[in-house]
Amino acid sequence: MISLEQIKKLAIPSASKIVMLVIDGLGGLPNPKTGKTELETAITPNLDRLAEEGICGLADIVSPGITPGSAPGHLALFGYDPLKFSIGRGILETLGIDFGLKKGDIAARGNFCTIDEKRLVTDRRAGRIPTERCVQLCEILSHIRLDDIQLFVLPVREHRFSLVLRGGELSAKLSDSDPQQTGVFPNIVAAANPRAERTARLVNQFIDRAKEILPQHYPANMILLRGFSQLPEIPTFNDTYKLKSAAIATYPMYKGIAKLLGMKVLGGANSIKEELTTLARHYAEYNFFFVHIKQTDAAGEDGDFSRKVKVIEEIDVALPPLLSLKPEVTVVTGDHSTPALLKGHSWHPVPLLLHSQWCRPDAAKEFSERACTSGGLGRFSALDIMPLAMANALKLTKFGA
């Protein structure tokens, strides 16, 4: 496998454009009644044409058999080995809300939750309180003062918030307070090593203060924290590939990953159609576009086969503005599979199509898991997607004499 440092030496800046359309949780499993997956059931003339003209395959995102989370999934799509690079949950959540994280900051993902009179967790999401309520509660918790350090309590959406600690020698080597189940007590945050002891003490102080303040705000009468993390050392996407890149996404986490890698996040879109018109509006300004569509994954997670089919069809209908731009390279794939039958992320490789002028013809005549199995890319590592996209955009020079 070629490394990012080696790719960087081969990358040459050029005007050609690459569009990577990530349909979250795209891969599926057949509906037992029809024998067809979500993608195979959906009517997708535009995607089918791209697949027929281009080259297809099945990409293993992390490694065969491994079910990827969203962050590792996207890292792999962008060519960063998720077994080597990792982004903590707290950092991801915080990047997604456009908070200016600094090196050394500690971030955690927070949930407002409900505990009963015995202090056992009864609802890890406090009945999914409205976002406005979350904003008010974060404002209240922001007034907590801890020795010597700055503290940010940042609302995200519904019951979700970020906690950021700043100042002095902090360490993210901390265990979660979130027990990830109901009927048990929240955990005390523990330091994994002596250097993290001060940070653990500060975090537990914060939790104790919140515990005193929140009882009057039922159902959000407690907090749970997880994914303590710091900004990772990671080479930027633009520097590595010599690209000018933009990201279009509606959900915070995906904007966060894009921002972390140094992509420009283009905001404002709230639907699939708007995402693709945003792409068209900014097409002249960038030469790499990451477009993230969330709704497929949400439908898959809900086990709603037919809604996932409808979202895929909605994407296909929204494609013409993208197609008419005729990018030199179009990649359509997912960051992992989310079969409605499994109601969650799965290990199945993701269908992928790569469309460019320079593809060798293959047997795939439509965009489906089945067709991708006989595609010219075969079954391959997601880490090869970026080198293949760059090659087809004629953005890589020869390796060696």
Site residues for a copy of itself per CB under 8 A: 1-3, 6, 10, 29-30, 35, 37, 58, 62-72, 82-83, 86, 89, 92, 227, 341-342, 344-348, 358, 360-363, 369-370, 373-374, 376-380, 384, 386-392, 396-401
CA distance 157 to 178: 18
Q: Which is nearer to a copy of itself, 34 or 150 (CB)?
A: 34
Q: Which is nearer to a copy of itself, 219 or 252 (CB)?
A: 252
In three-state secondary structure terms, 80 is coil
Closest CA to 223 of 93, 109, 112: 112
Q: Which is nearer to a copy of itself, 235 or 344 (CB)?
A: 344
In the numeric block, which tokens belong to residue 351? 């269908």
Q: Which is nearer to a copy of itself, 105 or 176 (CB)?
A: 176
- Shortest Cβ distance from residue 137 to a copy of itself (Å)? 23
Q: Which is nearer to a copy of itself, 61 or 153 (CB)?
A: 61
Q: Which is nearer to a copy of itself, 140 or 341 (CB)?
A: 341
- Shortest Cβ distance from residue 384 to a copy of itself (Å)? 4
- Shortest Cβ distance from residue 37 to a copy of itself (Å)? 8
- Shortest Cβ distance from residue 377 to a copy of itself (Å)? 7
- Shortest Cβ distance from residue 247 to a copy of itself (Å)? 18
In the numeric block, which tokens belong to residue 344? 């969650």
The residues with which 331 forms a beta bridge, in sequence order, are 20, 354
Q: Are the C-beta atoms of residues 162 and 99 closer than 8 Å to each other?
A: yes
CA distance 86 to 103: 16
- Shortest Cβ distance from residue 101 to a copy of itself (Å)? 16
CA distance 311 to 31: 16
- Shortest Cβ distance from residue 364 to a copy of itself (Å)? 10
- Shortest Cβ distance from residue 272 to a copy of itself (Å)? 24
**Residue recorded with tokens 């406005």:** 132
In the numeric block, which tokens belong to residue 69? 């989370």
Cβ atoms within 10 Å of 34's Cβ, excluding its own: 10
Q: Which is nearer to a copy of itself, 63 or 271 (CB)?
A: 63
- Shortest Cβ distance from residue 69 to a copy of itself (Å)? 4
**Residue recorded with tokens 């503290």:** 151
Chain centre to alpha carbon of residue 38: 21
Tell me which amino acid residue 78 is.
Answer: F
- Shortest Cβ distance from residue 108 to a copy of itself (Å)? 12
CA distance readout (Å), 386 to 257, 327, 378 = 16, 15, 16
Q: Which is nearer to a copy of itself, 268 or 378 (CB)?
A: 378
CA distance 290 to 174: 33
Q: Which is nearer to a copy of itself, 221 or 338 (CB)?
A: 338
φ/ψ of 41, rounded to 5, equals -80, -35
Buried b (16+ CB within 10 A) or exposed e, 358-370: ebeebebebbbbe
**CA triplet 164, 298, 252: central angle to 5 degrees?**
25
Q: Are the C-beta atoms of residues 392 and 328 closer than 8 Å to each other?
A: yes
Closest CA to 170 of 252, 101, 68: 101
Q: Are the C-beta atoms of residues 344 and 306 closer than 8 Å to each other?
A: no
Q: Which is nearer to a copy of itself, 92 or 260 (CB)?
A: 92
Closest CA to 87 of 335, 254, 263: 254
